[in-house]
Structure 1
Amino acid sequence: MSTIHILGIDLGKHCFHAVAHNYAGKEVLRKKYNRSQLLKFLANLETTTVAFEACGGAHWLARKCADFGHQVQLIPPQYVKPYVKGNKNDFIDAAAIAEAASRPSMRFVAVKSEEAQVIAVIHRIRDGFIKERTACMSRIGAILLEFGLSLPTGHAKMKMLFQWIADQRYQTLPQNLMHELSLIHAHYLYLNEQIKIQDTKLKQLAEQHELAKLLKTVPGIGDLTATLCVADVSAASNFSNGRNMSAWLGLVPRQYSTGGRTKLLGVSKRGNKHLRTLFIHGARAVLSRLETTGKVFGQWLVDLRASKPFNVVIVALANKLARIAWAVLYHRQAFKTASQS
């Protein structure tokens, strides 16, 4: 196996298809493994480059490969697709991964640490509870509407659901329906408690993690944004500058240029949707305090707010916040306001 230069692996839940290329690009291995067989094979394989798509289970396997001494390359799936030849099957996918990894201009995904993945899991579970709570509220509203009651939106009315129903003297509800509503309302209250628990976990993580504490010195970045940055960005050195990180978040204009003419469209909205949303909300929070906006970010933001639509300014400020976050992570220094610098 000393002739292996790049080993491409197509990941699966139970089966893993591996194709290896030598230094001349010729295929020297094509084999299917289960999970335990793959780990044993990688442990006995001489140090080489192992490549696979950045998908479910990829970061765990990447850490295992690194423990075995291999160089790991995670490739975004959309960058592998052009190298798939002919019809699709698992071995052809593995060969495409090996070929894509050999390209000098290929872009790779940084391997996440176990701690970063745990933080991301906390965020994911919290998002799931929020979506489930929203569905629960909509379900209660729809049930009441079927019986002639239009429940006002918002958590204030939802928490006091039965008091609100009691105040609607012109309409009485069947006793069996009230029982069903109590069940679903109890589930709504349970979801509220679970979201608070997740928030507490993230707050504690933000207070304990050095980089998260530095990120929180940036106006508009709180516990959620700081911890998710730590989890998803992994290392600021993965980006050459702040603009690259902002582009990765989808906060820069989409370009469609040809014939020497530059054409910029709306923001690309590519990349990490969750983190981009948090930066947008952070920018909205900053702009809600007009009295401190100029002191913190300088006159450019005040002038932009006076000349551009509100949502355009929000995206521009979110772009700025992402660049500042990169600088804080890269230099490991707290943010200084325009008046301090």
Structure 2
Amino acid sequence: MKCRTIGIDLAKSVFQACGVNQHLKPVFNQRLARRDFYAFMAEQPPTQVVMEACYSSHYWGRELTQLGHTVCLIPAQHVTPFVRGNKNDRNDALAIVEASQRPNIRFVPIKSEAQQEVMALHRIRERLIKNKTALTNQAHGLLSDFGIIFSQGERCFSVMAHIVAASSHVSENIKSLVAMLHEEFLGLKAKLKVIEAKLKQNLTQFPQAEILLSVPGVGYIIASALIACIDKGQAFKSAKDFAVWLGITPRQYASGSHSYMGKISKRGHRYLRKQLIHGARAVLNRYKNENDALKVWGESVAHRRGFNKAVVAIAHKLARIVWHLLQKDVMYQPQHIKA
């Protein structure tokens, strides 16, 4: 019997498959080992398959699409309200099916292998940056107990390491400790350069990369992150939807006739939001086209409301600009302000 929808609760080694009929009544709700899952889905007539957008979901989305199924991925936070009774795999699989029937649900596009490769590079890069920062912070704390103080920054850390190595007032134990820290620091920097070179090289396989790189404040790091996360922005109906998904729109507080806007919601993609904030900061600090309406507007906001609020406002505007350019498949053209 063909099911209207099959909900899959993914896990590492055991999956739960729940199929429902046209009246959303369960036809089956069974547990499957990972080795049996693909064969089971191959036996099912092509239908809608729904999964949470989580661990390994994009891989299985690609595999099941090749079998002829229509695969939809749901953000996990939209499934939780539909779990009835106890928390178990059977109820979770049924909740996934019920959540997929909501009229306003926004499904997550299935990422290609190329997109996931780029996102993997970004995650490794982020971990290396955290390790590098943790290393220098630890060096600050440990060496301060020996009267060795140095300013923040990569260059200051390297200068300090060379000064300690040549000093006659520092013990051999501390010298060897600083040498080990500096060697590890240089190793992390070398790995970061390799990762960033791969990100820059991988951009060439995406046609929309040239459009993204034309936007002020968007370099190859931000462009590759945008491609890995949203591709061409086809999952969003409007630029506003994209900005809301990023969490850079104000949070609304309303009751009755009273309504006011608060701080940004920070509900969406944390990593992509952070990268756009970095890009907005670059627009204010480093963008050389002083007559571009984007920078002129950003500087006026900074003068009225402060630098940090201006950075967030520019990030919001950059998100909208990026979505429009990707949808229209055109390059960014600066809008000059006449003196």
- Provide the TM-score with structure 2 as the length reference: 0.94
- Identify the range of structure 1 (13-22 vs 304-313) with the bigger mean alpha-carbon deviation: 304-313
Q: Percent identity?
A: 35
1:32: how far off? 0.7
Q: Is the 8 A contact 2:122 2:225 kept in 1?
A: yes
Q: 2:164 matched to 1:172?
A: no
Q: Is the 8 A contact 1:250 1:268 kept in 2?
A: yes
Note the 1:68-83 alignment, pairs <5 A: 68-83=67-82
Looking at structure 2, the residues matched to 159 and 287 of structure 1 have their Cα atoms a distance apart, in angstroms, of 29
- Identify the range of structure 1 (48-57 vs 144-153) with the bigger mean alpha-carbon deviation: 144-153
Q: Is the 8 A contact 2:165 2:179 kept in 1?
A: no
Q: Is the 8 A contact 2:4 2:21 kept in 1?
A: yes
Equivalent in 311, 317, 321 of residue 320 of structure 1: 317
1:290: how far off? 7.5
- Identify the range of structure 1 (199-208 vs 15-24) with the bigger mean alpha-carbon deviation: 199-208
Q: Deviations over 1:206-237 (max 9, x none)?
A: 34432111101011100111011011012322
Whichever residue aligns with residue 37 of structure 1, its letter is D
Note the 1:100-139 alignment, pairs <5 A: 100-139=99-138
Q: Deviations over 1:98-130 (max 9, x none)?
A: 111122222211111111000000111111111
1:252: how far off? 0.5
Looking at structure 2, the residues matched to 298 and 272 of structure 1 have their Cα atoms a distance apart, in angstroms, of 25
Whichever residue aligns with residue 10 of structure 1, its letter is D
Looking at structure 1, the residues matched to 290 and 41 of structure 2 have their Cα atoms a distance apart, in angstroms, of 54
Q: Is the 8 A contact 2:83 2:95 kept in 1?
A: yes
In structure 2, runs of 5+ residues without a counterpart are none
Note the 1:138-287 alignment, pairs <5 A: 138-166=137-165, 171-173=169-171, 175-287=172-284
- Structure 1 consecutive aligned stretches of length 4 or more whose deviation exceeds 4 Å: 166-169
The aligned residue for residue 33 of structure 1 is: 32
The aligned residue for residue 92 of structure 2 is: 93
Looking at structure 2, the residues matched to 31 and 49 of structure 1 have their Cα atoms a distance apart, in angstroms, of 17
SS in 1 for 2:170: coil
Q: Is the 8 A contact 2:208 2:232 kept in 1?
A: no
Looking at structure 2, the residues matched to 134 and 258 of structure 1 have their Cα atoms a distance apart, in angstroms, of 44
What is the aligned residue count? 337
Q: Is the 8 A contact 2:280 2:311 kept in 1?
A: yes
Looking at structure 1, the residues matched to 137 and 124 of structure 2 have their Cα atoms a distance apart, in angstroms, of 20
1:184: how far off? 2.5
SS in 2 for 1:263: strand
Whichever residue aligns with residue 305 of structure 2, its letter is K
The aligned residue for residue 308 of structure 2 is: 311
RMSD, matched Cα: 1.9
SS in 2 for 1:19: strand
SS in 2 for 1:262: strand
Change (3 A) 1:129 1:300: closer
Q: Deviations over 1:176-211 (max 9, x none)?
A: 332233222211110000001111111222344321
1:70: how far off? 0.7
Q: Is the 8 A contact 2:79 2:96 kept in 1?
A: yes
- Identify the range of structure 1 (179-188 vs 311-320) with the bigger mean alpha-carbon deviation: 179-188
Q: 2:22 matched to 1:23?
A: yes
Looking at structure 1, the residues matched to 133 and 122 of structure 2 have their Cα atoms a distance apart, in angstroms, of 17
